[in-house]
Amino acid sequence: MKSFLQIQDLHIAFQSDRGTVAALNGVTLDVRRGEMFGLVGETGCGKTVTGLAMLGLLPKSARVRSGSIFFEHTDVLAMSAGELQSLRGRRISMIFQDPSTALNPVFTIGSQMERVARQHLGLNRRQARARAGAMLEAVGLPDVGWILSAYPHHLSGGMKQRAMIAMALLCEPALLVADEPTTALDVTIQAQILALLSELRSKFNLTVMLITHNLGVVAHTCDRFAVLYAGRVVEIGATSAVFTVPQHPYTRALLAAIPTPAAHGKALAAIPGTVPVNPGAVSGCAFAPRCAFVFDRCKQEAPPLRAVAANQANACFLDEAGGDAG
């Protein structure tokens, strides 16, 4: 029995002028129906690539080397272009970081939304407009009539992101992939958008995959989450479990690097070094060069993801060796 969404050992590489860059090096995760799932990591860890792969939206330079993405028992990677077309929007939708570049500046919000509704749902123009209006209302926008006839530049950042979410939910998809939906927004607006997402989740029986670099966002909104580093899942589990006892040294380091009032005047625990440029070329654990607890084995083989508790798995040799990372 496969779960709602299951990604198994996904390897994706990009061809560039300078050779092949491995973006994903064995991503394995599962998302359960109805949950808010977080995908966390720093720039270049492969979180967006994972999201794009789920929708069959990878750029041409990307090559899936191995692995599978089972969504509702079907392998997305084996789908034809036509099958993908009916999957996107209908079953899986995606919203992006910057709503001002994701919306088309030369069409009104109404006409962009109508097009989606007519294409996917086969509605006529009037029905499509009514549906767009209803959805804009559902995401909490005031004065829907005006917004339908407004161009993206008439709206504020928060309103644009709400409109994006409304557009993504037009066909009531089962899964919404939200790629850094609040990164371009101010913190108070961020709070509103996140609250809206959890509200819509129960209203539309939606599963949300929230891609973010912000652990605070994850802590507050997600049921489960995975930490990605250099194209691999290093830790995955229930939010409460992982935040209570973070297992992987990288997760611990990330949490320690956030400035908090308690740390005032003290040096922050920065992670030395930088993310590997081409993690595929690294043998062993990709985090080893920056890890405070590294030992010989880490440099030779990559640790597999192993369950450490009922609702938590970790990819590190430390707990296997019985050592204490902290």
Partner 1 sequence: MTVSRSEAPLIEVRSLTKHFRLPGGWLTGKRRVLHAVDDVSLQVYTGEALGIVGESGCGKTTLGRLVLRLLDPTAGQILFDGREIAKLKKSELLPLRRQMQVVFQNPQQSLSARLRVADIVAEPLRTVGGIADDQSRRRVLGLLEQVGLGAQHLDRYPHELSGGQCQRVAIARALALDPVLLVLDEPTSALDVSVQAQILNLLVDLRQRLGLTYLFISHDLGVVEHVCDRIAVMYLGKIVESGPGKEIFAAPGHPYTQALLGAIPSQMSRRGVNWLCCRVMSQVRQPAIWLSIPHPVPVGTGYLPD
In the list 59, 264, 322, 324, the residue contacting partner 1 (rule: CB under 8 A) is: 264
Which of 239, 314 has the CB closer to partner 1?
Answer: 239
Does residue 187 touch partner 1 according to CB under 8 A? yes
Does residue 228 touch partner 1 according to CB under 8 A? no
Residues sharing a CB contact under 8 Å with residue 42, sequence separation 6 or more, in sequence order: 213, 229, 254, 275
**Would you state the structure tokens that stand for residue 141, as one six-digit string?**
């926008």
34-63 mask for partner 1 (x: CB under 8 A)?
Answer: --------xx--------------------
Question: What residues numbered 276-315 form the site for partner 1, per CB under 8 A?
Answer: none
Short-list 13, 192, 181, CA closest to 102? 181
Does residue 269 touch partner 1 according to CB under 8 A? yes
Does residue 270 touch partner 1 according to CB under 8 A? yes
In the list 197, 215, 233, 316, the residue contacting partner 1 (rule: CB under 8 A) is: 215
Does residue 194 touch partner 1 according to CB under 8 A? yes
In the list 78, 130, 134, 268, the residue contacting partner 1 (rule: CB under 8 A) is: 268
Shortest Å distance, C-beta 192 to partner 1: 7
Shortest Å distance, C-beta 181 to partner 1: 15
Q: Terminal CA-to-CA distance of the chain, rounded, Å? A: 37
Backbone angles phi, psi at 176, to 5 degrees: -115, 120
Bridge partners, residue 76, by sequence: none
Does residue 241 touch partner 1 according to CB under 8 A? no
Short-list 115, 118, 113, CA closest to 141? 113
Q: At residue 135, what is the residue type?
A: M
Tell me which stretch binds partner 1 (CB under 8 A): 30-38, 110-118, 165-173, 190-198.
190-198
Shortest Å distance, C-beta 110 to partner 1: 20
Shortest Å distance, C-beta 277 to partner 1: 9
Does residue 243 touch partner 1 according to CB under 8 A? yes
Which of 51, 158 has the CB closer to partner 1?
Answer: 158
DSSP-derived 3-state class of residue 141: coil
Q: How far is CA 288 from CA 1, 154, 252, 292, 297, in A?
A: 35, 48, 14, 8, 10
Does residue 257 touch partner 1 according to CB under 8 A? yes
131-150 mask for partner 1 (x: CB under 8 A)?
Answer: --------------------
DSSP 60: T
**Would you state the structure tokens that stand for residue 30, as one six-digit string?**
């599962």
Q: Where are the beta strands (DSSP E) in 196-298?
A: 207-212, 224-229, 232-238
- Binding-residue total with partner 1 (CB under 8 A): 45
Does residue 81 touch partner 1 according to CB under 8 A? no
How far apart (Å, rounded) are the C-alpha atoms in residues 16 and 198?
39
Contact 53, 69 (CB under 8 A): yes
Tell me which stretch binds partner 1 (CB under 8 A): 27-35, 74-82, 129-137, 215-223.
215-223
Which of 80, 188 has the CB closer to partner 1?
Answer: 188
Does residue 101 touch partner 1 according to CB under 8 A? no
Long-range contacts of 314-317 (CB under 8 A, 24+ apart): 314/234, 314/235, 314/237, 314/247, 314/248, 315/232, 315/233, 315/234, 315/235, 315/248, 315/285, 316/234, 316/247, 316/248, 316/249, 316/285, 317/285
Contact 277, 46 (CB under 8 A): no
Shortest Å distance, C-beta 249 to partner 1: 12
- Where does this chain bind partner 1 (CB under 8 A)? 42-43, 156-159, 186-192, 194-195, 213-220, 243-244, 253-255, 257-265, 267-272, 274-275
